[in-house]
Structure 1
């Protein structure tokens, strides 16, 4: 019996001893199994999230090829376009003008817009531009009907390679259903603005290699006369300075100028965020991401909105650009110059702000007798007309009440900086304004300096809105209309 109990005890001990490693193995297996299961859940969750994100961004397998291209922002998007009229010429032009158009419930302004582009341009200007119209509607019958009208009325421009009409097939578009409803927009509004972003992206993509610069217009605008020449002068005046977008209208997606080399990035950008916000808002972000902090907008505007009915549901749209001028003759052509004044400058509104037609201005505190605002040309220039207007629509008291306009010759250096050795008075200000004509006939020298002098003191401050002139014409618009803003209280 004792032997039996010893045997049983030994068996129990062996069973316990063997159970320990067995239990360890079992625990290890369970841990691995648990990790495997958890990892599987994590992996599956990541896959699910990725799948949802992909569906959320693309909403269609047909769009995958487009987003693969986004890894290369400098490359164009692989879209096969239909040529409805015309074909690109091998020679690069100076400017491409892009229009995207869809069928409207009420009104159609496309033909009028195309006509304005061509009618307001000289033959020399037409040789430097190409107009690309993207008919972005899925109604092919409407597209074909409109193409027939365009071909009849603008046949010579199509033959000359100045007008192209294209269509991006519907299969390249992402699904426009179930999009994010940002800003509480209704679904149809989100669908409209999201499709519009894609329409513009495909238009930009097509125009990438056609020219040096690209101008975006909407399909319901009127152009200023010789707008291309005016625009070229502005571009030349910005040579050497960095810019992403130059704006020639303050409305929407009208009159926005880009370097053609930036079009692929802009096209990809619009595609990536097509459902987030309207295109004109996206453009602000694009400009900022490329390190252009401030708006660079020129006046007078070169393009005016003429559409009365919107392309969205035919709703009324009465927006007008009050800075538009049909005749762009006075667009700036400023030669290099230095500016100085002894008027007490308020904050950042320094004298240089007045020497362009960008939406900036000089603002100085109350001038005293003898105070001046001086422009010194780097090289003397022939001047035929000088026009000066002070104050603004919002600050009508900030005008030069007593002053004279002078021109000078022979630049000399002084302790205060460059000045002219002698001056001739062209006239006195009346009501804050003066216009001197035929200056080159009234004086016997090329103008080296233009000086505005206060002939009496005043309590009111002085706004000099801008200085705009041509190489043979100096037009100083000091105190043109500007947007209403908050003004500080002055201690008189």
Structure 2
């Protein structure tokens, strides 16, 4: 256990080092600036060939296409009220207590396979008793087939009765009368008519789900109905949220697939619900979520590894087609998202491009990358406040970049802080150890 007022970790570079990886956290002040630069959000009305669809997805040039939407976007910040929908409670009653996290699922009848029960089971089984107190699960059975809904509700109430009684599981349905027109919609991207209807209805399904969940918790995470969760995923999410305190964000991503594992502030849900409903026929839900993030001034994706949620369905909810997508960053049992305290970082190594030192300390999937260093170069971490250190872990290089591994280096802890020339410096340093195979890890308690 290390206790001190100012600490310096100095990595003495005795060999070539280019890449210092990270998975940590640092605090930055985020400023919410909503510049709706709509000129970058256009796409022509002409049909998009099938071969162009993937390119559109990858380059984010798939954008909304009407001048009249500009004013609608500008009014987005005013959409704070609820959509007028009277929901049917198929299982349980209105949630009585606001929780930390709501997990939202929307499900329809599939031609092949049904993974909803396994998804709900995974959510509860992968959560500890204490974590269960802080979550609520809302399932929107969005299919218009009442017979199917009755069968599913019966299965859910039989298998998860204790969770329903405890008030952490609710099953709802938004009646068909509240849905907009779903037939005869314009065929964007040259999608067949049934595909347009499917994805347009799916947008409305999620809009109504988000609308319901707006006041049930502090945060909301979106899942699909064919997902497996990692162990203690809530604890990992809470750790990330804490690490980003003081940083502006709209969406945090805990999976790289579609809209699985997208985390939002609950206060943004009304706007997101209105947004999906407004543009329900324009494009798929995951594309709209990307636009929503950008319109609220989060330019870059903020995604965390390892992924906390994995797609497990084999058959798609659209026509029962095969869907073998897997997230290769998913880890069911092992996650190691650090909770580094606020600190200032410094290095005298030459930085490569924009891979600055702070990226080695962030929880986001980033890293520090330096140009070839010289012996005696250092990488320094100075904590802002006194801190108790329980574990230190530093990783360098990657499996596919073995030349970037730090073959020789050491980690020191500074002691006896003094004021010196308008700054603070440590008088003595204690060597905790040296790097082995490019890594340093220590979890023993040490009194200093």
TM over 0.5: yes
How far does residue 388 in structure 1 lie from its aligned partner after superposition? 2.4
Alignment match, 2:152? 146
1:431 equivalent to 2:437? Answer: yes
Deviation for aligned residue 1:412: 4.3
Match among 338, 345, 356 for residue 344 of structure 2: 338
1:323, distance to aligned residue in structure 2 (A): 2.0
The equivalent residue for 1:323 is: 329
Alignment partners' CA distance in 2, 1:217 and 1:249: 10
Which shifted more, 239-248 or 417-426?
417-426
Q: For the residues of structure 1 that align with 2:150 and 2:210, how far apart are their CA atoms?
A: 22
Secondary structure in 2 aligned to 1:375? strand
Match of residue 232 from structure 1: 238
Q: Does 1:112 align with 2:100?
A: no
Size of the aligned set, in residue pairs, is 375
Counterpart residue number, 1:373: 379
Q: What's 1:74 paired with?
A: 80
SS at match of 1:410: strand
Q: TM-score, normalised by structure 1?
A: 0.72
Return the match for 2:405 from 399, 402, 410. Answer: 399
Given the two structures, how large is their TM-score scaled by the length of structure 2? Answer: 0.79
Higher helix share: 1
Per the alignment, residue 444 of structure 1 pairs with 447
Residue of structure 2 equivalent to 1:243: 249
Aligned residue for 1:178?
A: 184
Residue in structure 1 matched with residue 212 of structure 2 by the alignment: 206
Where relative contact order (Cα < 8 A, 6+ residues apart) is larger, the structure is 2
SS of the residue corresponding to residue 324 of structure 1 reads coil
Root-mean-square deviation (CA, aligned residues, Å) is: 2.2
Q: Distance in 2 between matches of 1:70 and 1:174?
A: 20
1:415 and 1:368, CA in 2 relative to 1: closer, same or farther beyond 3 A? farther
Note the C-alpha offset of 1:149: 0.6
Contact 2:306 2:335 in 1 (8 A): no
1:404–1:429 contact (8 Å) kept in structure 2 = yes
Report if aligned partners of 1:93, 1:128 keep a CA contact under 8 Å in 2: yes
Per the TM alignment, residue 302 of structure 1 is displaced from its structure 2 partner at its CA by 1.5
The Cα offsets for residues 314-353 of structure 1, whole Å up to 9 and x where unpaired, read as 2222222222222355222121111111110112110101
The corresponding residue for 1:4 is: none
Unaligned runs of 5+ in 1: 1-56, 58-68, 446-492
Q: Contact conserved, 1:226 with 1:328, CA < 8 A, in 2?
A: no
Matched with 1:157 is 163
Q: In structure 1, how many angstroms separate the alpha carbons of the residues matched to 2:385 and 2:353?
A: 30
Contact 2:240 2:363 in 1 (8 A): no
- The question of 1:303 aligning with 2:309 is answered yes
Report if aligned partners of 2:96, 2:167 keep a CA contact under 8 Å in 1.
Answer: no
Q: CA deviation at 1:80?
A: 1.2
Give the match for residue 281 of structure 2: 275
CA displacement at 1:236 relative to structure 2? 1.8
Cα distance in 1, alignment partners of residues 215 and 304 from structure 2: 26
Q: What is the CA–CA distance in structure 2 between the aligned matches of 1:100 and 1:377, rounded to whole Å?
A: 44
Q: Tell me what 1:45 maps to.
A: none
- Distance in 2 (CA, whole Å) between partners of 1:145 and 1:89 is 23
Structure 2: 5+ residue runs without aligned partners?
1-65, 67-74
The Cα shift of 1:433 comes to 2.4
Q: CA deviation at 1:413?
A: 5.2
Report the equivalent of 1:477: none
Runs of 4+ in structure 1 over 6 Å off: none
**1:341-360 residue pairs with structure 2 within 5 A?**
341-360=347-366
CA distance, structure 1, for counterparts of residue 371 and residue 425 of structure 2: 22
Deviation at residue 146 of structure 1 after TM alignment: 0.7
Task: Compute the displacement of 1:134 (Å).
Answer: 0.3
CA distance in 2, matches of 1:285, 1:227: 26
